[in-house]
Structure formats: C-alpha cells, structure tokens
Amino acid sequence: MAGPGQRDSRPSLAGTTYNLLGIMAVLLGLGVVMVASTAPARNPALTRYLVMKHTLWLCLSIVALYVAYAVELRTLRRWSAVVLVLSLLTLVGVLVFGVKVNGARRWYRFGVLSFQPSELFKVALCLYMAHFFDRERARIKTFFKGFLQPVAIMGLAFVLILAQPDFGTALLVATMTFAMLFVAGIRIIHVLPAVLASAPLVVGLVVMVPERIERILAFLDPWKDPQGAGYQVIQSLLALGSGGLLGVGLGNSQQKLLFLPEANNDFVFSIVGEELGLVGTASVLLLFALLFWYGVRVARRAPDLFSSLLVFGLTLMIGLQAVVNIAVVTCSAPTKGLALPFVSAGGSSLVATMVAMGLILNVASRVEAATAPRPVGAVRVAG
C-alpha cells in the first residue's frame, strides 16, 4: 500500500470496469432495438409511445446508475438499514395503495409510469445483508445472530411479496439470501435444516393455488392445453424454433403479431431468437455469462467484506433473473413473470438493474488488480 499522501501506483481493474460497461451498453442497445422491433407496425402512434416510454425509463435508469456509482460506500453502509426499512414499507404500502392488474397488486401507478417496489427491494436486501454480515463477522457462525436474524428479515419480505402475489420474486429473494449466507461463511448445519424444512412449504404454496399447478402442468406438457395454460410457452417455442441459425431479420417476427403475449417484456428473448436466430440468442447468453464472471471477479478482489458481499449479491441477482427468464421462455422452467435484465421493455426492473450495476462499478473502481482473491464460502471460484 502507498504511504500517507502518496498515490498507490498499482493498477485498478480498469479493464474489468470497461468490460462491464461494454456488456451493459450492448444489452441496453439490444433492448432499445427489440422494443422498437416488437412494437405494432400497423399502429405508428402506439409504436412511438412504447419507444418513448422505454426511452424515458432508460434515461431514468442511467441517472440511477450514475447516482449508485458516485455515492460513497461508507454512506451506503450507514444508511443500509434505513433503506431496507423504507423498502419493506413500500412492500406493505403496495398491498393497500397499489393498482391491481390481472389479479395482482404489485405496482404503484404514477401517470403513465408504474413502479414495482419488489424490484428495488432486492437491491436494498443485498445492501443490508452485506453490511450486516460485515458488521457481525465475529458472530456469523452463531445461530441466533448469524442465521436467524437475516432469515427473519427475508421471511418477512417473502410473505409481503407472496401476498401481492409474486411467487417468482419471493423465491428469488429467498435464493439470494441463502446464497449470501453461504458466501458470508454461515455454518451449513444451520442452513441445511432450514432449506429442507422449507421444501414442504414451497410445495404447499404451489398446491394451494390452482394457477401455479396449471403453470407446472403446462411446463411438463404445454401441448396438453395449447389454447390455455400452454399457449404462451408454445408460441415462445415456435418463435425460437422458426429463427434458425441467423433469424428471419429484425422486425420480421410473426409471433409478435398478437400471437406471443408479453413479446417486448418477459418473452423478449423468444423474439430475439426468431429475428436474430441462434447467433443472437447465443450472443445474449455469452454476454450474461461474461457479466456474471466479471462480477464475481470484482467481488473476490473487493477491498473489504462489505463490498465483496454487496457485489456478489447484486451479480447473483442479475444472473439469476436472466437464467430464470431464459429458462421460462425455453420451457426449461414453469412460467414466472421475471423480466430479462437490460433487454426487456423498461420499467422498475430496468432501474433496479442499473442501480445494481452502478454499485458493482462503484466497487470495481476501487479494486486493485494485485489484491488477492477472496474465498467464496467453502468454494474458491476462479477469478
């Protein structure tokens, strides 16, 4: 380390920072192109509206990215608990004041824009958990302080998100929490019984709601109900299959013409496959894989435990959401309403993802290339 008043001459991970920015820019550019491509060509006014709306969300998300990048990390530590509490309050408030769409009350409505508080809660959870595990590192292996407290917070959020209802996001929040517990060094003897005990609960939550059973049955055999529960998945597979190697060309998708619901949002990857083919979908997969790899690299070389856990949690959040979205549209998982990060039509998901990227870049700008990699839980990940 350099002495007082001297600048450290060791290089930072500037290359990683630029690579992350490049990956993000390409995915955002693809998102703009796909929003314009999936807009109804027969209605120019609606096309302009959708593109302008996405552009507005993109501008807001870029501002959010810059704010997250510029904020001091010690300020984030100091306010992490306040941010978490405010996020929890928005989850409570949406159940009372939120608008109801298709039977779900997940959004606040502000004019033409809507805001989903569970999206930003995922970022707030990562921030708080990183600070909590850093602060309580001496007691992280204890049951009550190291395990029960963070799981209780996750459980409260799980119930609130499930009440909206949003089963997919609730499971994502639980997965992120347990993954951060593992990386922080929690004792497996504490985690394993909780995971085993939660399995019957998850099964019960699925069985209790007929719609969730229909989604699982449609996942197992979508052609059994091609005009009902299996319709969306079948249209998605038709879009992917018709693209071939190079696709049918931008704007030439047939499935987006009132066949595939949510073509510019949850199922935008299907239209990428139809219009850009296997080359397009493989490129998107590669970009997300590289983003995850670079994120883990930053996490392992972060200057302190707080920064390391924060970057890991946020990288996992983006990676998991991408994996689940792509698994859904390829009929590798039951249908869940999760957007494809950066690419799906803009909204609170895009803002939350850009906040996460801003925080990752914030830490990356403070990382030294010579810093020894950190172990990740009980496993060393190549970095």
CA separation for the pair 350, 265 (Å, rounded): 11
Q: Is residue 121 part of a domain?
A: yes
Task: Say what the pLDDT of residue 373 is.
Answer: 57
Query: What is the pTM (predicted TM-score) of this model?
Result: 0.87
Q: Is residue 378 part of a domain?
A: no
CA separation for the pair 204, 334 (Å, rounded): 16
Q: Is residue 381 part of a domain?
A: no
Q: Is residue 371 part of a domain?
A: no
Q: Is residue 321 part of a domain?
A: yes
Structural domain including 163 reads 14-364
The CA distances from residue 105 to 100, 163, 264, 285, 332, in Å, are: 4, 9, 21, 32, 27
Nearest to 151 by CA among 187, 191, 123: 191
Task: Say what the pLDDT of residue 6 is.
Answer: 41
Q: Is residue 263 part of a domain?
A: yes
Task: Say what the pLDDT of residue 8 is.
Answer: 41
Q: Is residue 1 part of a domain?
A: no
Q: Is residue 24 part of a domain?
A: yes
Task: Say what the pLDDT of residue 61 is.
Answer: 94
Say how many domains are in the chain: 1
How many C-beta atoms lie closer than 10 Å to residue 349's C-beta? Answer: 25
CA separation for the pair 202, 171 (Å, rounded): 9
Task: Give the angle subtended at the CA of 248 by the CAs of 244 and 254, to the nearest 5°.
Answer: 105
Q: What is the pLDDT along the chain (383 residues), one digit of tens a residue?
A: 344 444 343 345 668 888 999 999 999 999 999 988 887 666 677 778 888 888 889 999 999 999 999 999 889 899 999 999 999 999 999 998 888 877 788 888 877 778 889 999 999 999 999 999 888 887 777 777 778 888 899 999 999 998 888 888 988 999 999 888 888 887 777 777 777 777 777 777 777 777 778 888 788 888 888 888 788 889 999 999 998 899 998 888 888 887 888 788 888 999 999 999 999 999 999 999 999 999 999 998 888 889 999 999 999 999 999 999 999 999 888 887 788 999 988 788 999 999 999 999 999 887 755 455 555 554 443 33
